[in-house]
Amino acid sequence: MAGTPPRADARPAEWWERLAARLIEALVFGVFYYILFIALWAIFRTVGVLDVFGGRLPGVCAWFAAGLAYAAYDWRAHSRYGRTFGKAIMRIRLAPAKLPPSAALKRTLVYPGPLMLMGIPVVNLLAGMLLFGVGLLILIDKPLERGPHDRLAGTRVVKDLR
């Protein structure tokens, strides 16, 4: 476990607060994905490689790049500020707030790291099941509501009462 253990009196964030924070971030990165997909589609069409992999190449590349950007942002935001912009809007944060970069990286590789694989057929099913499982484990872990990514990094998502 990385960092200092979270305070016992900190109230865990509700599941819907965590979901809302991720949906806010997904909206922003989803727009980035679609812009990137359209740009890559135009570039691949111009160069004549649009039909490679059955026309899936722009989608695979856009998913990988957007997923990598989201994972890099998630790692940096959690290691530096203890929360992402979605968590800031929902007034929740990680405990402990100061997370070593290595612990934040472990957390990011479990979630949202697999998002990079969502554009690859068949692999996307496995990545989706992993991400669904992470969310499910958060729901059933009472009373702390920690997912595998939280356990690996030694964190909890708590309400920011400041």
Q: What is the pLDDT of residues 13-67, one digit of tens each?
A: 999 999 999 999 999 999 999 999 999 999 999 998 988 888 899 999 999 999 9
Distance CA 144, CA 56 (A): 41
User: Cα dist. 115→32, 46, 65 in Å?
Assistant: 14, 28, 10
Residue 149 has pLDDT above 50, yes or no: yes
Alpha carbon distance 90, 83 (integer Å): 10
Spatial separation of the C-alpha atoms in residues 97 and 56, rounded to whole Å: 40
pTM for the model: 0.88
pLDDT at 1: 45
Residue 85 CA to residue 76 CA, distance in Å, equals 12
